[in-house]
Structure 1
Amino acid sequence: MKFTIDKSEKYTIISLEEEKLDSLKAPLLKSEIITLFQSGTENLILDLENVKYVDSSGLSAILVANRMTGDVNGEFVICNISDHVMKLIKISKLESVLNILPTKQEAIEAIFLHEIEKDLGTEPSDED
């Protein structure tokens, strides 16, 4: 499976360079996602700009990423999604479960917003 990984301090971006995320490629994506979280990733962006087709195995890999970010109080964002893939997500009734944004820049901004909210929520109160 062809993909690139771009790590920054606050997030990791996986950009798939495949047209299909199917039963042949989804296990490799799942494995990579698990490895990233074992090495400390908390926020993940999945860039599907090149992906034109996703099957149930691909959706399963996406849901693994969603669950793992939730387990570490992180944020998972999918961006650059094709119409065909969006139709499958809607048919599967996952559009309300997944955070889907149009562009990579919007996904990065969502991660930063999540981090700010997380920081604000964990600061001790001065009124104690």
Structure 2
Amino acid sequence: MQFKIDTKEKFHVITPNEPVLSATMTDKMESALLPFLQKDVKNVILSLQDVEEIDAAAAAKLLQIQQNFYENNASFVTCNIQKTVNAFLSENELDELLNITPTESEAWDIVQMEEIERELLDTEDIEFPDTDDE
């Protein structure tokens, strides 16, 4: 499977260069994406701009990959979905489960908001000393 990787400050944009995304391809994609979870920049945006067809097993695998990223405090956002792929995901009720944005720019925004949210949640876990003067 051929794909392009574009690394930014807070995320990597992965763009498969294939018109069809099958389960076999998503297995290979998972092997390529999961190592990002061990890096400093572990958020991924998956741009499906060139993908015109996806099968149910591949869509399920994308959902599994997304879950894996969120379980590891990393973002996984899918964007630039073609109409045929979007229709397939909608028919199979997967469009509500996947974190999907129309454009890459909106995916960047989601990643940045989720990063801020994680930072805020991390600071809430810090216990501050009681400063009440009694």
Instruction: Calculate the TM-score normalised by the size of structure 1.
Output: 0.86
* Greater radius of gyration (CA): 2
The aligned residue for residue 119 of structure 1 is 119
Q: What is the DSSP-based 3-state SS (H/G/I as helix, E as strand, rest coil) of the residue aligned with 1:34? A: helix
Q: Which amino acid aligns with 1:87?
A: A
Q: Deviations over 1:79-113 (max 9, x none)?
A: 00011111111122122211110111110111011
Q: Which amino acid aligns with 1:10?
A: K
The aligned residue for residue 74 of structure 2 is 74
The aligned residue for residue 49 of structure 1 is 49
8 A Cα contact 1:16 1:47, kept in partner: yes
Distance 1:59 1:10 in 2: 25
The aligned residue for residue 92 of structure 1 is 92
Distance 1:40 1:56 in 2: 32
8 A Cα contact 1:23 1:57, kept in partner: yes
* Long gaps (5+) in structure 1: none
CA RMSD of aligned residues (A): 2.0
Closer, same or farther in 2 for the Cα pair 1:121/1:51, shift >3 Å?
Answer: same
* Deviation of 1:3 (Å): 0.5
The aligned residue for residue 33 of structure 2 is 33
* Long gaps (5+) in structure 2: none
8 A Cα contact 2:5 2:15, kept in partner: yes
Q: Which amino acid aligns with 1:101?
A: T
Structure 1 stretches of 4+ with a deviation exceeding 3 A read 38-42, 124-128
Q: Which amino acid aligns with 2:112?
A: F
Which is further off, 56-65 or 35-44? 35-44
Percent of aligned pairs with the same residue?
Answer: 30
